[in-house]
Chains A and B, each alone.
Chain A
Amino acid sequence: MCGFSGYFGTVRDGRALLERMTAAIAHRGPDEQGFFTTKAAGLGHARLSIIDLGDGQQPMSDATGDLTIAFNGEIFNYVELREQLRAKGRHFRTASDTEVILHLYDEMGEDCVSALNGDFAFALWDGRRRRMVLARDRMGVRPLFYTRQGERLYFASEVKALLQAPGVAAEIDPVALDQIFTLWAPIAPRTAFRNIYELEPASLMIVQEGSVSTRPYWSLEYPDREAPPRHRDERAAAEELRALLTEATRIRMRADVPVGAYLSGGLDSSITSALAAGMAPGGLRTFSVTFDSAEHDESPFQLEMARALGTHHSAVACGEGDIAAVFPDVIRFTERPILRTAPAPLYKLSSLVREAGLKVVLTGEGADEVFAGYDIFKEARVRRFCRRQPGSRIRPHLFRKLYPYLPGLRQQSAEYLFSFFGASGAALDDPLFSHRPRFDGTAATKLFYSGDLRATLSGYDAAEELAARLPEAFARWHPLHQAQYLEARFLLPGYILSSQGDRMAMAHGIEGRFPFLDHHLVEFAAGLPPEMKLKGLVEKHILREATKDLLPAAIGRRTKQPYRAPDSQSFVGPGTRDYVQSALGDAAVSAGGLFNPKAVAKLHEKCSRQPASGFRDNAAFVGILSTQLWLTTFTGTGICNAKAA
C-alpha cells in the first residue's frame, strides 16, 4: 500500500517533478521513496512497506529492464500466482506481489489484471511498446487520478500530486459540485477539480504516443429477474458464502507486518474481526471510535465483541469539538466537498492505529452494498408496498420503523410519512426509484447556490446523467439489484471507499482491507436471489445465517445502525472555531462565488440557534463549509483561515 505519481510524454527535469509530486503524497508511503525516468515517461513511488519489507522497493523493473511498475495496493492472491508463474519457468528476485504483476504482464499483457485478486492501482511502463498501462481494481478501493496537458499525461494516487505538475491548476468543476450536492459524489471519471479525472474502477488505460484509450475489464452484473435463480437452497448458499468469506479474509491477512481490524460494533466488522481473530497468530488488535452522544455511540457493542473475541482493543473518543478540530485536514485529504462529517472520526481512528504501530486493518466495509444492508433498500421496498395501497393509514408507519433514530419522523402522521418518502411521486419504472427521495432531498441544498452558479448549471440534471450511465441490462434486473448496483457502482467508490475509506486511512499511512469486496464474493452475492439478502425487512439475511456461530446473539441479531457522526452541531455553540466563522462569512462566501452569502449567513444562524436541524440543513451546512475549505485549501480563494489551530 503506497502512493505513486508519474507522467507520459517529454518533461523537462522529470526527476525533480517526480520528487515534488511524490512528496505531496508522502503520507501514503512514509517508509521510502523511489523514482524512474526515461525520455518518454517517469514514475515516482512512496512506499508503505507491508510485504517483502527488504526487497520490495519501487518503481520496480523486470530483469530485462523493459518493464517498470509503480504500484499502490496489494495483490492478495500473489502467492498462488507466483507459484503458477514459477511452474512456467519464471524466476523471481523478490518475494513481493509487485514482481508478480511484472511477470504476469510479461505473460499476458494488460489482460493480466483479470487474474489479480486485490485492491490495486498501478502504472506500468512498457519500454518495448513505448506505452504506459494504468489500471485500477474492480471495486475502486485504490485511487488513480490523471490530467492531460497537451501531449503529456500526468497521473497520481491523489490530486494534490497532480497540482505540482506544470500548467495544472486547481479549479472547482461546477458540474461535479452539482453532482455532489445531488448524488453525494461526483460521477467518475469527473472529480471536484476541473480537467482532472479519475480512472474508473475495473478499468484499464493505455497511453502511447498519439493515443489514449480506456476500457473496462470487469463489470458488476446481476441476473435477469425472469431468469431461473442460480441458488435455490439457502443452506447451501450460506455454506458457500461462508467459505468464500473465510478465504477472502484469509488472503487479506497476508502481510509481513501485523494486521489489525476496525470494530464498529455492527454485524459486518464483527464478522471480519471474528474471522481474523482465528487467523492472527499473536492475537488480534481491534480499533473503534466512540462518541459522546448516545445516538451515535456503539461502544457497548464494540466492547462486547472485543471481549467475546479476546482482542486487544483500543478506542478513540470523538467528543464535542473533535470533528471541527480535524475538519480542514479531512477536506485536504478527501480533496472534494462532502455533505456529512462521517469521514472525520475515521481520520481520528486511522491516527489511533498508526500510534499503535500498525499499518494494516481489515474492515467490514462493502457488506451493506453486497448483501443489501442499507436502509435505502428497505425504504424502497416499503415505498413500493405503500404504492400498492395509497390510502392506507397503516403501511406508511413502516417508514418510522426503518428510521427510529430520526427524531423528525417520530411524530409524523401516516399521510406525511407517505409524502416524505415520495411514495406518491416517482414512477415505479424510474431506474432511480430506490434513490429518488435521497437525491431529491439532497438536491434541496441547491437553494444556497449563488445566481452565477445557477446560471452555469442551467438545464443540467445530475440524476439524469446518472440514469444515462446505467448499463443496458439494468432494466431487466430485480428492483433490489438495481438499488444495489447504484450503491455499489457509484456511491461505494465515489464516497465510501474514497472519502471515508482510502483517503482517511492513508492520511496516516494505514491500509484498509475489505474482505466483503473480494470479487469472488461480490460475484457470488450478486447472483443470490433478492429474498436471500433482504428477507422481508431483515437486511443481510444470508450473511447472518452464514456467520451466526461466530457472533454473540445480541450482535448477530442487531438491526443495521448506519454509521453517522454529528453534523452541523459539530461546528456551532461555545468554542466555535474561528475558521468556521470565517469560511461562512460574507467575504469568503462572496469570494468563492458559489453560494448566496445572505442565505448562508441565515443557515449558519439557524444551525447555531437550533443545532438539531433536519437532513437538508445539515447537508447544506457541511457541504457549504467543506466547499469553502476546499476552495481555500486548493485554490487559495476566500479569506478564511483553514488552520484548525
Chain B
Amino acid sequence: MTDTIRDAVKAFVIENFLFGDTTHALADTDSLIENGIIDSTGVLELVAFIEDHCRITVADADIVPANLDSLARITAFISAKTASLVAA
C-alpha cells in the first residue's frame, strides 16, 4: 500500500514538475523546495493531486513542509490520513 502511494506520488512529481526528466535522481527524502522542484503554485498542484487521487481532504493546516516536502513525507502523510479515514 505504502509503496503504491509512493510510486503514484513519484510518478506525479516526475510528470508534472520534472516534465518526464528521469535523469533527476530524486531520493525519497530529498526536499522538493530546496531542489527547485516545486514552488508555491506547485504545492497547490500537489495538494489537488493528493485530494483527487487519494480521495482525502487536505486541510489548510496540513499544508506544511513537514507533511509535503519530500516523497517520504507525502507518502507518510497520505498513509496516515487514509488510515484515519478507515478507522473512522
Give chain A nearest CB distance to B10 CB in angstroms. Answer: 16
Contact among A411, A441, A443, A448 with B44 in the assembled complex (CB-CB below 8 Å): A411
A412-B40 CB under 8 A given contacts A419-B69, A425-B34: yes
Flag whether A603 is at the interface (Cβ < 8 A): yes
Who on chain A is nearest to B36 by CB? A444
Cβ B36 vs Cβ A443 within 8 A = yes
- How far does the alpha carbon of A412 sit from the alpha carbon of B40 in the complex, in Å? 8
> Does A474 lie at the interface of the complex (its beta carbon under 8 Å from any beta carbon of B)?
no
Q: Which residues of A contact B40 (CB under 8 A)?
A: 406, 408-409, 412, 416, 420, 614
Stretch of A2-10, A89-97, A318-326, A594-602 contacting B (4+ beta carbons < 8 Å):
A594-602
Pair A412/B63 contact, Cβ less than 8 Å? yes
CB distance from A413 to the nearest CB of B (A): 5
Q: Are B16 and A408 in contact (CB under 8 A)?
A: no
The answer to whether A420 and B19 touch across the interface, beta carbons within 8 angstroms, is no
Check: B88 CB closer than 8 A to any chain A CB.
no
Q: What secondary structure prevails in chain A residues at the interface with B? A: helix
Could you tell me the distance between the alpha carbons of A580 and B65 in the complex, rounded to whole angstroms? 37
A415 within 8 A of B: yes
Which residues of chain A come closer than 8 Å to B44, judged between CB atoms? 408, 411
Instruction: Report yes or no: A596 in contact with B21, Cβ–Cβ below 8 A.
Output: yes
Interface status of B28 (Cβ within 8 A of chain A)? no
* Chain B contacts for A407, CB-based, 8 A: 41
Q: Is A616 an interface residue (CB 8 A)?
A: yes
A interface, size bucket: 20 to 34
Which residues on the B side are within 8 Å of A416 (C-beta)? 40, 43, 63-65
Q: Is the CB of B60 within 8 A of A413?
A: yes
Given known contacts A416-B64, A614-B39, A616-B39, A447 and B33 CB-to-CB distance under 8 angstroms: no
A599–B22 Cα distance when bound, in Å, is: 11
Q: Which residues of B contact A440 (CB under 8 A)?
A: 36
**Shortest beta-carbon distance, A421 to chain B, in Å?**
9
Contact with B along A423-449 (1 / 0, CB 8 A): 001000000000000001101100110
Residues of A close to B65: CB separation below 8 A: 415-416, 419
In the complex, are the beta carbons of B19 and A602 less than 8 A apart? Answer: yes
Chain B nearest CB: distance from A353 CB in Å?
A: 36
- Is B7's beta carbon under 8 Å from chain A? no
Question: Is the CB–CB distance between B60 and A411 below 8 Å?
Answer: yes
Q: B31-70 vs A: 1/0 string, CB under 8 Å? A: 0011011011111110000000000000011011110010
Chain A, residue nearest B47 (CB):
A411
**A603: which B residues are within 8 A, CB to CB?**
19
Cα(A617)–Cα(B18), bound, Å:
11
In the complex, what distance in Å separates the CA atom of A441 from the CA atom of B35?
Answer: 10
How far apart sit A615 and B41, CA to CA, in the bound complex (Å)?
A: 8
Q: How far is the CA of A612 from the CA of B39 in the complex (A)?
A: 13
Q: CB-CB < 8 A to A598: which residues of B? A: 19-20
Given A416-B40, A441-B36, A606 and B16 touching (CB < 8 A)? Answer: yes
* Whole-angstrom CA separation of A614 from B44 in the bound complex: 10
Contact indicator B19/A599 (Cβ below 8 Å): yes
Judged by a CB distance under 8 angstroms, whether A613 is at the interface is yes
Q: How many angstroms between the C-alpha atoms of A612 and B44 in the bound complex?
A: 12
Complexed CA–CA distance, A444 and B15 (Å)? 15
Residues of B within 8 Å of A441, CB to CB, are 36, 39
Q: B63 touching A420 by the CB < 8 A rule?
A: no
When chains A and B are docked, how far (Å) is the Cα of A55 from the Cα of B43? 63
Interface string of A454-465 (1 = CB under 8 A from B): 000000000000
Given A408-B39, A614-B41, A419 contacting B21 (CB threshold 8 A): no
Task: For residue B69, give the distance in angstroms from its CB to the closest CB of chain A.
Answer: 7
The answer to whether B66 and A615 have CB atoms under 8 Å apart is no
A-B contact pairs, 26 of them (CB 8 A): A406-B40, A407-B41, A412-B43, A413-B60, A413-B61, A415-B65, A415-B66, A416-B43, A416-B64, A416-B65, A419-B33, A419-B69, A420-B39, A425-B34, A441-B39, A444-B36, A447-B21, A448-B19, A599-B18, A599-B21, A602-B15, A606-B19, A612-B41, A613-B41, A614-B40, A614-B42
| Chain A residues within 8 Å of B, Cβ to Cβ | 406-409, 411-413, 415-416, 419-420, 425, 440-441, 443-444, 447-448, 596, 598-600, 602-603, 606, 610, 612-617
